[in-house]
């Protein structure tokens, strides 16, 4: 019960990483407000009385402010905000993405977490402590894991949590990010479906040392760590959970020398 009597908000909670995290938070004693454009009620139903479903847009300030108010009104405060909602924007190149693509991806993926910090931070500060977690990506670390707009948005999240951690100095509110690698969710469904249709499912995640893709629960476990007091001295950090993908530049294992396994 690492989150006993804590109050948490999880955006993008209708499926994938968000649903796995909301269920795990609740299993560890938290009351959870689940927010998504669709699927929030299904997640809340899976959790039971400890959950409240809200249909909302995590990149819209009125909706994010409303989530924080709901936490205070329903449960009496707020301890954890997992700003997880995001969109991929596909795999278009910079030359194929127009200004509207960039605007929408940045609105959800970067402005959304900024709004979470803006509205949740003061409430947590008044409460005396809190943990804000934002979903970034290995795409924010280097190229090759997403479109130009998506990668830029996630790099922005990594910078955002560092800046916010400094600006929340002295509040006992921690701000961190998680950088997932390839995880099987609705966002990556087309990648998994394409590989399976070609009989190449064994190729998924083959570029990382663990030679597999990840599961939503594996990111949820990282979120639980950052949400709990187990990470009480972790702040302004981007935690990479990618099977080792970002530990190296690309190389050919066959030509790596005799010491390679």
In the chain, what's the furthest Cα-to-Cα distance? 63
CA dist 61 and 84 (Å) reads 15
The helix (run of H) or strand (run of E) holding residue 210 is none
DSSP-derived letter for residue 257 is: -
Per-residue pLDDT of the chain (261 residues; tens, 9 = 90+): 999 999 999 999 999 999 999 999 999 999 999 999 999 999 999 999 999 999 999 999 999 999 999 999 999 999 999 999 999 988 889 999 999 999 999 999 999 999 999 999 999 999 999 999 999 999 999 988 789 999 999 999 999 999 999 999 999 999 999 999 988 776 666 565 566 666 766 766 678 888 888 999 999 999 999 999 999 999 999 999 999 999 887 665 554 444 445
What is the reported pLDDT for 252? 54
What is the reported pLDDT for 29? 98
CA dist 4 and 30 (Å) reads 6
Question: Could you say which of 119, 150, 192, 256 is catalytic?
Answer: 150
Beta bridge partners of 134: 83, 177
Q: Find out whether 1 and 29 touch, Cβ atoms under 8 Å.
A: yes
CA dist 175 and 120 (Å) reads 11
Contacts of residue 217, Cβ cutoff 8 Å, sequence gap at least 6: 20, 24
**DSSP, residue by residue, 47-85:** H-TTEEEEE--TT-HHHHHHHHHHHHHHHS--SEEEE--
Phi and psi dihedrals of 257, rounded to 5? Answer: 110, 170
What is the reported pLDDT for 255? 47
Q: Find out whether 78 and 124 touch, Cβ atoms under 8 Å.
A: yes
CA dist 72 and 206 (Å) reads 45
The domain locations on the chain are 7-183+215-242
CA dist 159 and 236 (Å) reads 9
CATH class of 7-183+215-242: alpha beta
CA dist 120 and 159 (Å) reads 18
What is the reported pLDDT for 258? 47
What is the reported pLDDT for 24? 98
What is the reported pLDDT for 90? 80
Model pTM score:
0.92
Tell me, yes or no, if 150 is annotated catalytic: yes
Q: Find out whether 81 and 127 touch, Cβ atoms under 8 Å.
A: no
CA dist 177 and 188 (Å) reads 20
């Amino acid at each position: 019960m690492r989150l006993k009597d804590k109050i948490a908000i999880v955006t993008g909670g209708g499926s994938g990483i968000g649903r796995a995290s909301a269920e795990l938070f609740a299993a560890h004693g938290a009351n959870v407000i689940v927010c998504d454009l669709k699927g929030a009620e299904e997640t809340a139903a899976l959790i039971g009385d400890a959950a409240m479903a809200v249909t909302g847009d995590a990149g819209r300030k009125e909706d994010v402010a409303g989530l924080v108010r709901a936490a205070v009104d329903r449960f009496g405060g707020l301890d954890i905000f997992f700003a997880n909602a995001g969109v991929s924007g596909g795999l278009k190149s910079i030359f194929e993405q127009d200004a509207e693509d960039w605007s929408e991806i940045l609105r959800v993926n970067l402005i959304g977490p900024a709004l979470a910090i803006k509205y949740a931070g003061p409430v947590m500060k008044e409460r005396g402590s809190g943990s804000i977690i934002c979903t970034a990506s290995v795409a924010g670390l280097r190229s090759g894991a997403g479109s130009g707009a998506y990668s830029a948005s996630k790099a922005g999240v990594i910078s955002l949590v560092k800046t916010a951690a400094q600006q929340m100095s002295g509040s006992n509110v921690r701000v961190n990010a998680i950088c997932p690698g390839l995880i099987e969710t609705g966002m990556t469904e087309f990648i998994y479906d394409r590989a399976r249709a070609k009989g190449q499912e064994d190729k998924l995640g083959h570029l990382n040392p663990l030679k597999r893709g990840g599961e939503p629960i594996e990111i949820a476990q990282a979120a639980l760590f950052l949400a709990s007091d187990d990470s009480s001295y972790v702040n302004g950090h981007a935690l990479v959970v990618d099977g080792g993908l970002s530990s190296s530049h690309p190389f050919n294992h066959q030509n790596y020398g005799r010491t390679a396994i």
